[in-house]
Structure formats: structure tokens, C-alpha cells
Structure 1
Amino acid sequence: MRSLPTDPPERRRIAALLVALVAGVAVFAIATRVFPYHSINHDEGVYLQQAAMLLEEQLRLFPGELSGAFRPWFFVEDGGTLYPKYSPVPAAMYAASMALFGEPRVTLAAVAAGNALCVYALGAMAFDRSVGVAAAAIFAAAPMALVTTSVFLPYAPTTLLNLLFAVCYLSGVRTGSRTSAALAGVAIGLAFFARPYTAVLFAAPFIAHALWSVVTTVRKHKGGPVPDPLVRNALTAGGGLAFVGLTLAYNASLTGSALVFPYAAFAPMDGPGFGRRRLLEHAVEYTPALAAEANGYVLWYLLTRWFTAGALGTACAVCGLALSIRRWYGSASVSTDRTPGLLLVGLFVSIPVGNLLFWGNYNVLATFEDPTDGLIAEFGPLYHFDLLAPLSIFAALAIVTGWRRFATRVRALSGPSVARAVLALALLVGLALAGIAAAPPVAEPIERNAAHTEKYETAYEPIEATDFDGALVFLPTPYGEWQNHPFQYLRNDPGLDGEVVYALDREPAEDFAVLDAYPDRDNYRYAYRGEWTPDPDDRVTPKLEALSVRSGEALAGETTVGVPANVDRATVRLEADGEVAEYGIEDPGEQVVVDWTLEPGAARLGAVDSPVGLGATEEVVLSITLVQPDGSTLTYRQETAVRGDGERVEAIAPPERTVCPLVTRCGSEGTYLPDTPDAHREGVAFETRIEPA
């Protein structure tokens, strides 16, 4: 049996591989256990929808006239087609594992492992392999690395591309490898395609170094073969510019202009810069003062909550930076290559300064002073994700240097056997303390996200419990007419033809159009009682009810409602197209039965002679308001989608039903739950039948 390598470099490489493996397993576990229904950042659904489209060789969805019913969150509507506002690069990375393993979370694990290995390589280049191993471990243990990499967002994948660029660029500088230089260009080009501004901020120190190298070489060149630095930087630039060209071509194919990115087509005022910034209905005057204040809080939370061990880890990074400066400039006889370390230091300038121009850092903060609210509470300062790498490397330098000095001191004061025992004990104690320091910052965001998962689990229970086979499900619109916002777990196939098709529940004309487009499916309406908010403690009670379309020359409706105790009168009201018919009931008894009919062009309330006019497609509202002697009320309200063609009339059954205390209209907070009687007060019952007359 072949023995394992025992020389230090090989042991360090094995250690780095183990760290990367642990990082990948940890992220996969968090992704599957904490985020089985995805997170409160609904951009995840955009990337997963895009990944599914890429597997079908689609850059667009083609719903035609039904675009409004099928428009996913952050998709641009363009003449009957829909396309995402985001670049396809992160989605393509998720699509790869979907194709190979049927599970996109494999990509998340691979990204976590890849980032750890890149940090190891950069730490080894800047200092040594021991620092690289420690840096990889520190990076992998950072709360932002663990949590953000566990969801389908672009930040960790883009960081992987950026770090690959840095590793390949520095490898080319150190060894003269033209292959490494070319790979560096490909990596940063892909990063630009994924997130242009993020890639530019990361690459800025490296570009400055490349320009300095080229200028210096040109000044020294006296003729003859083209110098190696010029060739290498040309290869890097060529690879990067090739993907810039691909990015512009992608823009042109979707938006019609190479210089108009899809995100700008979606929201033209949602880019870097100061002044009026706007995304949908959210807008702000983004001034330099506001940018400085918001970014100050974001960086503070990064350094104290989202980096490994919080402020303690940051203190180590500061010490490591000071040690580096002393090592580089404290002696006239410096033999180490300062280039990797100085470029890492440059990231501490380019990323924070560049992010001042991006108002997303303002948006992740719900309130500046509360780090437990808003997106930053769940995922950290997302736009500064790239800073985790240099922070980890300099923190590792401080820890490794301190350990080496301690070990040297121990060996000088004791014999070999005693020194080994003392160092082993010190290592165990140190690891235990490090774990104690690092665990709380990780546990807090995981607990917050787990609370959201519990809410989603309850909300999706009737969907999970139903075996769909050719179904059409109408979904509510708590945040406006967007699919996957918030219900990103309920996504359509790219062809809008899967075993279950999800459509937005909108106006009657739109709902009938969707039903006409899917005539042979089992129809359902998903709804819930309660108000949907971002607060995980605001739970809803869901229901999934089967729908059918009743049709005839006329339709007869009968609505029966229960009457709770101490009700002395009731009002029955039928309204449609601005017209109303109503009557009163004295001493209604234990229940009220209301007859009503639907005819082409008219709706009739049984006890009222005058009909209510109907348009071609209409919502007919029947309300029964029960009144107690003190004036308090309980209103049963049903809304029926009706369509007529002059000869026949159609209605979607059952109607949408609500039970509203004290008000006559209460939306989803009063949704009637026929299978959950405990959700309503005693005596409440609501039954509606619609049959051909």
C-alpha cells in the first residue's frame, strides 16, 4: 500500500483539500437543511428559472399574450416574451449541476470548496503554505461565506471567478506561464459577464499592476523579441476583452443594444452612481453623504458580525496587515515578493471605495443602526463578499506568526517531549477557543433564516401534500403581479408546460384567458388566511382548493352562511359593473340562504326584481353582512369570476370567499378555510353552489 506523502508542502496541500471538502459539505448541509424552500431573497428564483431555461437552450420565456400571468420576479417583459435582468453566468453554473446530478446545490458546495482552495493558493503565494491553509479555514468559517454561499445568489460564484483570476494572474507573474495568464483573462472575463461592476472593482489593483509592468517593460525594452510581460498581459487582456465582447453581444440579443444591460432595461436608474436611484417603486436621492454613511455601517457589520469570529477575527487581520508592512518595508534586505500581498491590500481600497457608488449597500440595510433587520441580517454585506479573502489571509498571517513564535519560545524553554505535549495542548485549547468565538456569529443568521424556512414549510404544506398530474394552479399576489415573489419555490418549466403550471390569480378576464390556454388540466387556487410579510413570525394558514368552470345558458347560485349568536339583522348585497342590488333580513336565525342567478349580460339577486348588468367578463360580488345590536358586524364576501358571450355564461367555482369581522372587505386576512373550522369564530360557515339553471 502506497504511503501518504510526508513532506510539509504535500501535507499542507492535503490539509487545504480537507478544508475545502469540509467547506463544501457544510455549505451543502446548510443549503439543504436551512434553505430547502430557498430564502427571503427572491433573486434565487430568478437564477434557478434562468438555469432551467439555459438547459432548454432558451434565453427567454414565450408566454405571448399571457405574459402578465406568468411574469417571474425581475424578468423584463418584451413584446410577449420575458427575459431575466441578470447575467446567465451564475445560472449556467447552477445549470451544470442540474444537468449532471439533478441537484443545483452541488454547485453551491463546489463553489464553497473552490473559494477555499483559491484562498489557500493566494495565502501561499503571498506568504507561505501554512498561512494559506489557515486562511482557507478562516474564509470557510466566515458567517457570510457559509450563509451566502448556501443560497442561489451570484456573489460567491463571482468571487470564485475573481479569485481564480487572481491565482492565475499571480502564477503567471511568478512563473512566466502564458497559460496561466490566458486563464486569468478567461476568469476575469467570466466574472465581468457575471457581475461587471464587481469584477472591475476586484480587478482594479491587478490592472494597475499590469499597466505598471507593461510601462516598465516598454521603457527598458531596447529591441529584439517581444518581452514576456507584454505577451502575458496581452493574453490576459485578450481573454478578458473576449468575454466583454460576449457580454455586449448578449446585451444586444436581449435588449437590442450592446450598451444596455438587461438590468438597465428593467430599471434604468438602478446602476452605480449618485443622484436619483430607483428600482420599481423604491427610490432615493443617493448622495455622497448617504453613501458614506450607509457603507460605513455595512463595513462595520462586515468586520464585527460577518467575518470569522467577528471583531476578534478582524483584529487578527489588522495585526497581520501590520506584520506584512513591517516585513515588506521594515528592513532594507527584503527578499520576499511583495506583489501578491500588495495586490491583496489593494482590494481593501478598490472594493470599499467602488461600493460607495452603488446604492445596493444602502438597500441591504433596513435601518442603519439595526444589523438584525433587512437583507444584511440574513446574508451580510453581500456586495463586499470579495473582502473576505484578503481579510482571511492577513488574519491567518497573524495567527500563524503568533503560533510560530509561541512554539519557538516553548521549545527554547523545555525539552522536546515536554514541548510537544505543551504545543499539542495549546493547539487543542486554541482550536476550542476559536470555535467558541466563531460559532455565535454563524449561528445567529442561520437561526434567523431557519425561522423563515419554518414559515415557508407551513405555507407550502397543501402544495407538498398534493400529487399533481397535469395541473394549473393560480397563485396569490401579495407583493404585486410577480411570480416567485414571494413564492419562488413554485416555478414553471421553461416551456410553461410542466406537470404543474403556476399562474397569477388576477382579474377575471386574465384568469379565463389562462384557463382557455390550458383546457385539459385540473385547476386549483392556492390561497391563505393572514397577511404575508417578510417577518417570519407572521404565519399564514394556507389552503389549496380545486376549481371548475361552470357553464350554461344560465347559472343558478345558492350561498348559505352560518349566523353566530346575538345577530339581529342582515343585509344581502349583489354588485357588478358598478350596479348594486340588495335587501335586508330581520332576525335571520341560524343561517342565511341566498339565491342568485347569472345570465348573459345580467346577474339577479333572488329577492330583488331588478337585475344587475354584467359586462363580457366581470367579477360578481355577493356580500352578506350580519349586524349585532351594538352595531358590530361580520361580513361574508364572495367574488365570482363570470364570463358571457351573449348566449351562454361561465363562472369559476368556488368563488373567492372571505369572512370579515367589523369590516365589509378584508382581503387575505379573512380568507375562508372550509377545512379548518377552528380558524373562524363559532357559528361561521360558508357554502356556495353554482349549477346550470
Structure 2
Amino acid sequence: MTPISIGGVDLPPAPSAALGTVPGVSSPHESRRPAPAPAEPDSGLVPPAVPAQRAVRGRVPAGGGGGPGGDALGRRLWGRLAVAPAAARYVAVLAVLSAVAAVVLRHTVFPLLSVNNDEGIYLLHARTLAEGRLFPPAPRPAQSYLPWLGTVVDDHYVLKYTPFVPAVFAASLFVAGSIDPALAVIAAAAVVVTYLLGVELSGSRRVAALAATLLALSPLVLLQSAMVLSYLPALVLLQATVLGVLRGRRSHRAPPVVGAGVALGVAAAVRPYDVVLLLAPLAVWLLVASAGRRWWLLRWLMCGLAAPVVIVLLTNAAATGNPLRLPFALLEPDDRIGFGLRKLYPADGRHDFGLTDGLSSVGDHLWLLGGWAFGGVVLAAASLAAAARRRLSAPAAMLGLGGLVFLIGYVGFWGAWNAAELWGGIRFVGPFYMVAVLVPLVHLGAIGCAWGAAALVARGRRLGFAAFVPVVAAVVALTIVVLTGAVRDNLALTGNDRDLRAMLRRLPDRPLVFVAANPAFLGHPTPVTANGPDLDDPVLYAIARGVDDLTVVADHPERPAYLLRLAPAYDRSPGSPSTARVERLAVRAGDRVAATVAVAAGAAPPRSRSARLVLTAGRDRLSLPVDPRTATSLTFTIDDDGLDVNDLAVNNAAVNDPAVDDHDTGSARAGAARRPPARPTATVVRGGRGTSVTVTLYATDRLGRERTVDQQILPVRLAAGRGAPDRDEPAVTVLGSVGQVDEVGTGARPPLRVTLADAGGARGAKPRTGGRAE
């Protein structure tokens, strides 16, 4: 067996049967010569690249026996492990440790999911599949229970992503009642498949084991392995695709190519853009370099692709009505690749995404990847050096080129810009869009590092260690800093969600909690406010939307109703406000119902030039200027003839107003001089619809730009046919707050507080007892 030469240093040849046949470094990877007889038994982690029957006969240890029984099986497995090469045993241990780390991080850092709210989509889809349904049911009113980035189709919700990754977690839920096994398997598979592909690309088990180590120790992989997301499963599928094609092409065996086709089909369904960018150069090289076997490869690859393609077409047809339309674009057509105006969901503001934005986004991701990949900068330099010195095999070089194409392609992907610039979550959970870049980075980096280390050692051991030790120490130190910082930040965010969940679980009698969410989805900005697929959890969540809230309350008369108000920047970062308060809701009905709006002192952002309160009900709008530095309260009356200026009573000396709590008065002083109340301005809203009252606080900065500070909806229903004098239905029915119940968190509070006035303060108003009203 020819020894392997790296940087002029001959390394001892590794046995060729453990964890797959090892091609030589100088091999063109397409030799049809029969493989030499295996010198050692296979480790048993994956099938070898030799015919199965011959491999099994060569691997069974003496005395292991092939008879039935668990004892014989245990002896066989132990025998395989005992005779496996050291690199294979090391990778097996590393895979187990990675699986354990994924589960531990899951239960310590992300027990309530992470700030990446897409986790809630995958988990909800997995729970739905585990119950034997393809889509979560959508009870009426469907928009009131809408999950994050979901959309309503007929009588069910369609979630944003294809069902392949959720199906993995659904299988884990179905078998074990937990997602922990799925997380463990994905983490371990990422390590093992990296090693196997490294063997194919470098021809050295030691280099392949180094690549697996670099992947396993990357903070980005460690954190992603504990999340219910698609990025790490996609990395496994991408590497399995390349591994199967290269192994099948080299050995001229169909099963690996068929397996590659399956992996390719699933990966393309999960993250199609990543597949096209990363694998395009390798695909072109395979077509050019596989003369005489091109159609053979394509034929077996298509055989593997068939099943995933059929599943995608069927699920697309069920979800969108079009087999060729993915659910991804069903919610918002402007959420797509390319430059221009982009939106994440229909109510999202339109974002002008241009070339400079795309370049800054990729730059931010690469800057973070330098620390979130274990030795990211060193690996990039080593990869370039290995390419310059022509130490890469052709497939490895094509993967490296695919990594560059990937980065160029992501310049035009606005989702990465949204994560980096608008949301900023990549600072806490890592540059997750770059997980696929780890494939060429760890493999080419491992080859370059092994070659560089061997070259240095060849010039002298002291020189090699003098250059090697400081670099490794710096990489380890940077990794520890990045990982501990990420764990600290995520623990702070998780702590906020723990406090929120504990407060909501203290509410009695299986409560119904309306979430004043912006945007109007459940599970955002916190995963705590998410329902299961059957809407039968101890706490039922609904979106505070308006008149539909009265229907939701009536549908659940056994549940007391509450309103959850979150700080506007809740959990945007570890230092953002985490205040959350719960208010008791009640139904009031009568000819007229009064409500009070309280604005805390200093509610507007610092240096605001002016502020105004706007009340909107259908076509009627009342605008009232308020002092952005002073606490303000006003009372308005709701009747069946809409809003007008006579329905509004303003009191600027809010320090004496019982509707404003002491902690909301801020800088307002007792006995402050009362100024004449401002006169509201009435306008007509073109196309205005609905009967509920929306209260909005706007602030204008010194440049004259106005933005929304806070908003709250007061659900109002007017009697149908209110002109009939003998009607039994009250003219006005309102669902409103009757007082705060609890509060957790720190930082700025929601500045608006809308409560029902005292029953005696509105002529003809009376409480209703139906629907748990008070």
C-alpha cells in the first residue's frame, strides 16, 4: 500500500475498510482497479465501499459468531469497535459527545426555544405530523390563532417550510415523546458524515478526523445542534450528497449514488438556494470529468431523487394548490431572492434591499463566522494556501469554489440582510445562514492545516511547535470567548421567557390570554406565546385583533380572559426591555361604554419634538396632540354613532387620575399646573372598516419623521339592526381591561394603557355575565 505524502512527509498508510474505503491522495478518484484486501475490520459505523457480503465476512471477529441472540450481537459490535482504526474510534466518541452536547444545551440554554422564532414553526409542524396530520387545524376565527409566519388555507394553517425536517422531529416525538433523540442523531450524523466525506476528499483518515473535529467544536454548530431548525440537517444532507456521488463514482456502485439522490432531493426541498449555490461547481465538474459514466451517474441519481420529488410535489399541491409552488412564498410574494422592495409578511414594512445592503450582510456574516467557526480565519487562510499549492483533489477544489459561489449568491438574498441588520439575531445564535459554508471550510481547512503542519515539522520539530502552539491557543481562546458570550446572552433571553411563562402559568383556571402582538402572529417575539396543534394547552393564546376577540371569548366561556402586553422591544437583545404585564379582561355592554387611555410620562423617545394620540374606529378618526414629556389621560365614550369630538374628555393633570399608576407618571409632579386641554381633530378614513377602536401613540423626532410608539386595540361590537327599538342585543359590547394582574421583567413598560372606566361612569353601561365577564 503506497504511503501518503503530505508536504514532503510520508505518513503511514491507513487501512482501507474502516468507515469506508480510503482513496489515495494522488488518486484521480475514478480508478476502476479493485480495492486491496482490507487489512483491518470495519468499525461498523457506516457500510464500507466494498460489496456487503465480502465485507461482513472479513469483519466478524473470531469467536463473535453469527448466531442469533443479543449476546452474539453485542460481541460482534464490540469486536468491530475494538479492531477499528484509531481515527474511526475517535470520531465515534466525538459523535457521541456532540449528541450529548446538543441535548444538554437544549435543556440548559434553549429549554423554551431560542430567539429565532422559526423554531416554533418547525416544532408546531413536527407536533402536527406526530399526531397524524399534515397541517395544523385552523378553528374560526382563524386569524386569531395564526402561528408565526403561517397563513390560512381553507380550514388549516400552512406553515412556511416543507415537511422534511419537521418529519425528523415528528418521528422522535412519536417514538420517544421528545425531540431530544432527533437533536442527538442530527448532531452525531454531522460529525460522522464530515469524517466520511473527509476521507473521500483527502484520502487520509487523520485529516478527515481533523475536519470532523473542526466542525464539532465550532460554536455555530454547537448552538445550532440544540435548535429545531433546518441549517444543521441541511449540512448533513449536503455532505451526504457529495459523499454518495464520489463514493459511487469511484467504486462504480449504484447504492451510494441512489442514496446521494435521496439526500439531494431532501436537501433541495429544505434549502434549495443553498444546494444550487454550493453544489453547482461540483455538478459541472462531474458532468465534464465523468466521460463514459455520465449517464450512469445521472440514472442512479434520478432514481434516488424520485421519492423526494414526488413528496415535494404532493405536499406543495396540498399546501398551495400548485405542485410547483413552495409554501415559502405563499404568505408573502415579496419574500424572495433578488434586489428591490422586500417584505417578510403582509403587514411588514417594505424594505428597500440593494447591492450595498447585500454586501454588508455577507460581510457581517463572514466577520462573525471568523469566531463562530472553530479557527475560522485560520481555516480560510489554510484553504487558500492548500489551493495555491495545488494540494486539493478536484472534488475538494470544486467544493471550495462552491463556497465562493455561495457567498456571492447570498449577496442577493435579503433574508440574510434581515437577520444581520434589521433583526440582528445572528449576534446571539450565530451566522446561521453560513452553516453550509462550513462544509468547504472545515474540509479544505483541515487539508491545508495538515499540509502546513507537516511542512513545518519537516523543517524541525521545535520550529513546528513554536508556530503551531500559539495558533491553536489563540483559536481555542477565541472559541471559548465566543461560546461563553453566546451562552450568556441566550441564558439572559431564556430567563426573560422563563419569567414570562411562570407568570402566565400562575393565572388560574386554564386562562385565555390575548397577546397584543406586533406583527399579529403567535410565537413572536417570544416562543412562550405559541399554541399546540390541538389548541388544548393549559394556557390558550390568541392574538388581540379586535371584534373577533369577542367571538374567541364566547367560544371559550370556561376560560377567564386576560390581555398580555409586552414591551415594544421585548427580547430583541439581552439588554432590551423585558417587561410583560397581564391585565384582566371583562365584557361590558349597554347603550354607551366608557374607556380610559393613559399615557405614561416620557413615553415618547428622547428628543421627540411632539407626540399625538390617534383613536380610529372604522371611518372615524380623532387626533389629539399630547406633551411627550408629561403623563396624559383621556376618557372616551363608545356608542353606536361612531367617534366624534364630543366623545372625548381630556385631563392633562394625570397625576391625580386613578387610571394612571404611580410608576407610569414618571416626571409628572403632584400639583403641576393644569394647561388647557388640546382640542382633538376629527378626520375621515377612506375605506375605513370595522367597529373596534384602535389607540395609537405617535412621536415626531426633530427631523420631522413620525413613527409609531405603541398601539392597542379595544374590541367593540355594535348591534346589528340597531334601529329596531325592541332589540334584545345591547347597542355596544366592549371587551376591555379592568386592571393589571401581574407584571415581570425590567426596562421600559408598554406606554399605553387602555382600561374600561367605572360602570357608573358611562350612562347605560352594565357588565355582562356571559363569557366570564366581570
Q: In which range does the TM-score fall when normalised by the shorter chain? A: 0.7 to 0.9
Higher helix share: 1
Alpha-carbon separation, structure 2, partners of 1:190 and 1:442 = 31
Q: CA deviation at 1:277?
A: 3.6
Provide, for residues 347-390 of structure 1, a one-character-per-residue CA deviation record: whole Å limited to 9, x for no partner.
223322332332223223218xxxxx713322333333111122
Say yes or no: does 1:435 pair with 2:476. Answer: yes
Say yes or no: does 1:315 pair with 2:381. Answer: yes
Pick one of 568, 574, 586 that aligns with 2:637. 574
2:586·2:738 contact (CA, 8 Å) conserved in 1? no
Provide, for residues 383-441 of structure 1, a one-character-per-residue CA deviation record: whole Å limited to 9, x for no partner.
33111122112222233345545666778x9xxxxxxxx99x99999866553242123
Alpha-carbon separation, structure 2, partners of 1:589 and 1:401 = 74
- Structure 1 unaligned blocks of 5 or more: 218-226, 329-337, 368-372, 414-421, 562-566, 594-614, 622-636, 660-665, 674-684
CA 1:512–1:13: 2 relative to 1, 3 Å: same
1:278-677 maps to which residues of 2 (within 5 A)?
278-280=343-345, 281-288=348-355, 290-302=357-369, 304-323=370-389, 325=390, 327=391, 338-366=393-421, 374-404=424-454, 434-466=475-507, 469=510, 471-477=511-517, 479-507=518-546, 509-528=547-566, 532=570, 534-547=572-585, 549=587, 573-576=636-639, 577-579=642-644, 580=646, 646-649=727-730, 655=737, 668-671=750-753
CA 1:402–1:339: 2 relative to 1, 3 Å: closer
Alpha-carbon separation, structure 2, partners of 1:592 and 1:126 = 73
1:310·1:438 contact (CA, 8 Å) conserved in 2? no
Alpha-carbon separation, structure 1, partners of 2:492 and 2:183 = 22
Q: Which secondary structure does the structure 1 equivalent of 2:190 belong to?
A: helix
Pick one of 139, 144, 149 that aligns with 2:225. 149
Indicate the residue corresponding to 1:608 in structure 2: none
Amino acid paired to 2:544: D
Q: Which secondary structure does the structure 2 equivalent of 1:151 belong to?
A: coil
Q: Which secondary structure does the structure 2 equivalent of 1:503 belong to?
A: strand
Alpha-carbon separation, structure 1, partners of 2:372 and 2:753 = 41
Alpha-carbon separation, structure 2, partners of 1:260 and 1:132 = 39
Q: Which secondary structure does the structure 1 equivalent of 2:85 belong to?
A: helix
Indicate the residue corresponding to 1:104 in structure 2: 179
Say yes or no: does 1:46 pair with 2:111. Answer: no
CA 1:672–1:528: 2 relative to 1, 3 Å: farther
Pick one of 175, 178, 197 that aligns with 2:273. 197
Pick one of 252, 273, 285 that aligns with 2:317. 252
Q: How many residues align?
A: 591
Alpha-carbon separation, structure 2, partners of 1:540 and 1:441 = 24
Q: Which secondary structure does the structure 2 equivalent of 1:77 belong to?
A: strand
2:594·2:757 contact (CA, 8 Å) conserved in 1? no
Give the alignment's TM-score, normalised by structure 2. 0.67
Pick one of 78, 81, 89 that aligns with 2:156. 81
Q: Which secondary structure does the structure 1 equivalent of 2:412 belong to?
A: coil
Say yes or no: does 1:23 pair with 2:88. Answer: no
Alpha-carbon separation, structure 1, partners of 2:421 and 2:161 = 23
Alpha-carbon separation, structure 2, partners of 1:20 and 1:5 = 14
Task: Give the % identical residues.
Answer: 24
Amino acid paired to 2:157: L
Alpha-carbon separation, structure 2, partners of 1:448 and 1:125 = 39
Q: CA deviation at 1:137?
A: 1.0
CA 1:290–1:157: 2 relative to 1, 3 Å: same
2:207·2:446 contact (CA, 8 Å) conserved in 1? yes
Alpha-carbon separation, structure 2, partners of 1:345 and 1:583 = 69
1:530·1:669 contact (CA, 8 Å) conserved in 2? no
2:241·2:260 contact (CA, 8 Å) conserved in 1? yes
Alpha-carbon separation, structure 1, partners of 2:483 and 2:502 = 29
Q: CA deviation at 1:618?
A: 5.8
- Structure 2 unaligned blocks of 5 or more: 1-74, 599-629, 660-688, 696-711, 721-726, 742-747, 761-765, 770-774
CA 1:147–1:572: 2 relative to 1, 3 Å: closer
Indicate the residue corresponding to 2:282 in structure 1: 206
1:143·1:442 contact (CA, 8 Å) conserved in 2? yes
Indicate the residue corresponding to 2:261 in structure 1: 185
Which deviates more from structure 2 when the two are superposed, residues 169-178 or residues 310-319? 310-319
Indicate the residue corresponding to 2:296 in structure 1: 231
Q: CA deviation at 1:504?
A: 1.0
Alpha-carbon separation, structure 2, partners of 1:56 and 1:669 = 42
Q: Which secondary structure does the structure 1 equivalent of 2:336 belong to?
A: coil
Q: Which secondary structure does the structure 1 equivalent of 2:564 belong to?
A: strand
Q: Which secondary structure does the structure 1 equivalent of 2:334 belong to?
A: coil
Amino acid paired to 1:364: A
2:571·2:578 contact (CA, 8 Å) conserved in 1? no
1:638·1:657 contact (CA, 8 Å) conserved in 2? no
Q: CA deviation at 1:15?
A: 0.3
Pick one of 87, 91, 106 that aligns with 1:12. 87
Q: Which secondary structure does the structure 1 equivalent of 2:565 belong to?
A: strand
1:617·1:644 contact (CA, 8 Å) conserved in 2? no
CA 1:75–1:572: 2 relative to 1, 3 Å: closer
Indicate the residue corresponding to 2:10 in structure 1: none
2:549·2:715 contact (CA, 8 Å) conserved in 1? no
Alpha-carbon separation, structure 1, partners of 2:127 and 2:314 = 21
Alpha-carbon separation, structure 2, partners of 1:691 and 1:268 = 45
2:550·2:735 contact (CA, 8 Å) conserved in 1? no
Q: CA deviation at 1:585?
A: 10
Indicate the residue corresponding to 2:137 in structure 1: 62
CA 1:617–1:349: 2 relative to 1, 3 Å: closer
Amino acid paired to 1:231: W
1:641·1:655 contact (CA, 8 Å) conserved in 2? no
Q: CA deviation at 1:239?
A: 1.7
Q: CA deviation at 1:131?
A: 0.8
Q: CA deviation at 1:466?
A: 4.4
2:279·2:399 contact (CA, 8 Å) conserved in 1? no
Alpha-carbon separation, structure 2, partners of 1:345 and 1:558 = 64
2:592·2:638 contact (CA, 8 Å) conserved in 1? no
Q: CA deviation at 1:24?
A: 2.0
Indicate the residue corresponding to 2:706 in structure 1: none
2:400·2:444 contact (CA, 8 Å) conserved in 1? no
Alpha-carbon separation, structure 2, partners of 1:121 and 1:365 = 33
Indicate the residue corresponding to 1:72 in structure 2: 147
Q: Which secondary structure does the structure 1 equivalent of 2:637 belong to?
A: strand
Q: Which secondary structure does the structure 2 equivalent of 1:92 belong to?
A: helix
Q: CA deviation at 1:13?
A: 0.6
Alpha-carbon separation, structure 2, partners of 1:40 and 1:587 = 40
Alpha-carbon separation, structure 1, partners of 2:273 and 2:394 = 24
CA 1:204–1:510: 2 relative to 1, 3 Å: same
Provide, for residues 630-659 of structure 1, a one-character-per-residue CA deviation record: whole Å limited to 9, x for no partner.
xxxxxxx99685665732548667625589
Give the alignment's TM-score, normalised by structure 1. 0.74
- Aligned-CA RMSD value: 4.3
Amino acid paired to 1:472: L
